[in-house]
Chains A and B, each alone.
Chain A
Amino acid sequence: AQSVTQLDSHVSVSEGTPVLLRCNYSSSYSPSLFWYVQHPNKGLQLLLKYTSAATLVKGINGFEAEFKKSETSFHLTKPSAHMSDAAEYFCVVSDHSGGGADGLTFGKGTHLIIQP
């Protein structure tokens, strides 16, 4: 069984300041972890993914995340927020118990607000 907990339903930061979106996971297997972003009325876009390689993962648009097995965390960060980052962010886990093609388990989402 697998689950994802996004610790904050809303995060508000000022433009130009750092962003931290927190995610904890639970998985019976070695998981793959993802962060997706969903802008209003648009499809999901993959920001980055962890699949048992380097624990610090760099994604698109300046985002990165660090896989910490001891803390079962996969927090998403960005050094400097931009107005265009305002969106819904989902932390997602797949434990590959089905052999690779598995349905994903989504966190409840974190709504990122950027203050001008």
Chain B
Amino acid sequence: GAVVSQHPSWVICKSGTSVKIECRSLDFQATTMFWYRQFPKQSLMLMATSNEGSKATYEQGVEKDKFLINHASLTLSTLTVTSAHPEDSSFYICSAPNLAGFSYEQYFGPGTRLTVT
């Protein structure tokens, strides 16, 4: 089946620094990828839709200047958390739909746990 990877799997950073998280589709091309965040013992919340070659679209309440998304190729999207603060500590998960066959199935990365100290 389709595989999506994320790097790093976990990261600890100091308050005020920026952190970049990568999401890769390993065996299929993804013109669209999605970024979610999950707080401890809570559900996943869609943050933004990453579009290859164009600007990302953000969900209401998500600061686009804080969560920078770049989708420079058909297999890679990056999420940069700028000027991170402790409240940004969360589990960030990306997904990519494999539209071959129009199965509407999305494949999820394993997630990146961000801790801001």
Contact residues of A with B, CB < 8 Å? 32, 34, 36, 42-44, 46, 49, 51, 90, 94, 96, 100-109
Contacts and interface: CB of A to CB of B under 8 A. Distances in A.
Interface of B: 31-32, 34, 36, 42-46, 49, 59, 93, 95, 97, 99, 102-106, 108-111
Contacts of A100: 97, 99, 102, 104
Given A43-B109, A44-B93, A104 B31 contact: no
Given A32-B104, A36-B108, A102-B97, 8 more contacts: A44-B44, A44-B108, A46-B105, A96-B104, A100-B104, A103-B59, A104-B46, A106-B36
Nearest to B30: A101
Contact of A101 (B43, B44, B45, B99): B99
Contact of B104 (A42, A49, A106): A49
A51 B103 contact: yes
B34 A104 contact: yes
B45 A106 contact: yes
Would you call the interface of chain A mostly helix, strand, loop, or mixed?
loop
B97 A105 contact: no
A35 to B, nearest CB: 12
A59 to B, nearest CB: 12
Contacts of A46: 105
Given A90-B43, A104-B46, A108-B42, A43 B111 contact: yes
Contacts of B102: 100
A103 B34 contact: yes
B95 A104 contact: yes
Given A42-B110, A43-B110, A49-B105, A101 B32 contact: yes
Contacts of B111: 43
A96 B43 CA distance: 21
Contacts of B103: 49, 51
A43 B46 contact: no
Contacts of B49: 103
Contacts of A101: 31-32, 97, 99
A24 B109 CA distance: 26
A91 to B, nearest CB: 10
Contacts of A36: 108
